[in-house]
Structure 1
Amino acid sequence: MQGQYILRMLSGDKTVIPAVRTKDDFRYALQNTSSPSIILLFGDINLLPELLARSEEYKKLLLIHLDLLEGVGKDRAGIKMLARMGVKGIITTKSHLAKHARAEGMLVIQRMFVMDSEALRTGVHVLQQFKPDAIEVLPASVPAEVISDLVKATNLPVLGGGLLTTEADVRAALKNGLCAVSTSRRELWNNILR
């Protein structure tokens, strides 16, 4: 049940979560999408308060891709500072930062690159040590068997990102078992329904 609640928080009735790379994309996603969340793939500590305020104004959960945010220490103190600023959710490839974020009450998406079977084994091992709220696999075109294995091993919602260029790509990723996908392509943000 927890997984379904997390999924509703992230994507609502949509299957695509906007991932924004610029301020213009951010404004567009706020004003023109119905997704309840936005993934932030740019910015720095100086710009973050403005972005948080705008996302709150539009009642959208801003998920900070921690690995891409400039100007914040990638340690416990940096996570505590982000929590004080009002960050409610993060995405990261770094499990030690994910643990700190969870301790601060943030929603945590563990991002993992699935390039081969060894990367999958390593990822599952990491996820068995620490359970985030959801997993995002890259690329989103991973085979259905990989997604099934991740769900069985973790019992977590599995999202996908990367290498999605068409609606057919999104549909194929969802057919393979992903709960939702993230993409920076505006043309895909609103047209895919569950």
Structure 2
Amino acid sequence: MSLMESLYKGPVIPSVRSIEDFNLALSDTTAPSLFLLFGDINNLPKLLRLAEQHKKRLLVHGDLLEGVGKDKAGIKYLARQGVTALVTTKPHLVKMAREEGLVVIQRLFLIDSEALRTGIKLLREHKPDAVEILPASVPRAAVQEIVRGASLPVFAGGLVTSREDVLQALKAGACAVSTSKRELWNIRV
């Protein structure tokens, strides 16, 4: 099963912000993938190894990983360490990561219609494998505009605090929802 296929297995992708979150997500969730929103170059190899032992894929947020340059050398380092998927807000990293064989999820903060237009332009230009829009509560019309304009799978994240938030994002057109709210990690829809 490919990484992109595994992302569709469940409606919720746990976002882990600490080692406690990470350990809980490994042992107590059925999610095949986790958003890794913490860590550094020293503990990344161990986190990757533990995830692999638990048959989980890590979607590493490169912007939040300490000690790794946000440049070509940093991307090459992540690939050598065994990272298979990168999450980033930085468009210039998308192409570099794809050249290294990584699956790339570009994060977009949709604060207004200009951010939406600019975001779609960046997605077309840099060609990530998927997009994560934040906050998850963006209107259905905005999600549909991204789907039409960029032809990418859309994940939703940010400010997801209830089952209703998850359902609303899925109904708007997201294929999955990321959240750090532990009690939502195993919900079924």
Provide the TM-score with structure 2 as the length reference: 0.97
Give, as a single letter, the amino acid of the residue that structure 1 aligns with 2:5. R
Give unpaired runs (5+ residues) of structure 2.
none
1:37 aligns to 2:33 (yes or no): yes
What's the counterpart of residue 7 of structure 2? 10
Specify the alignment match of 1:113 in structure 2. Answer: 109
CA RMSD of aligned residues (A): 1.0
Residue type matched to 2:166 in 1?
A: V
Aligned residue identity for 1:16 = V
Alpha-carbon shift at residue 11 of structure 1 (Å): 3.9
> What residue number does 1:53 align with?
49
How far off is 1:54 after superposition? 0.2
User: Please, which of 63, 66, 69 is the counterpart of residue 62 of structure 2?
Assistant: 66
Judging changes above 3 Å, is the alpha-carbon distance between structure 1 residues 145 and 6 closer, same or farther for their aligned structure 2 residues? Answer: farther
Aligned to 1:75: 71
SS of the residue corresponding to residue 112 of structure 1 reads strand
Aligned to 1:135: 131
Shift of residue 9, structure 1, vs aligned partner? 1.9
Q: What secondary structure is seen at the aligned counterpart in 1 of 2:118?
A: helix
Aligned length: 188
TM-score normalised by L of structure 1: 0.94
Q: Post-superposition, which runs of at least 4 consecutive aligned residues in structure 1 deviate over 3 A?
A: none
**Mapped partners of 2:140, 2:3: distance in 1:** 21
Quote the residue 1:89 is aligned against: 85
2:18 maps to 1:25? no
* Residue from 161, 172, 189 that aligns with 1:176: 172
Quote the residue 1:152 is aligned against. 148
User: Which ranges of structure 1 fall in alignment gaps of 5 or more residues?
Assistant: none
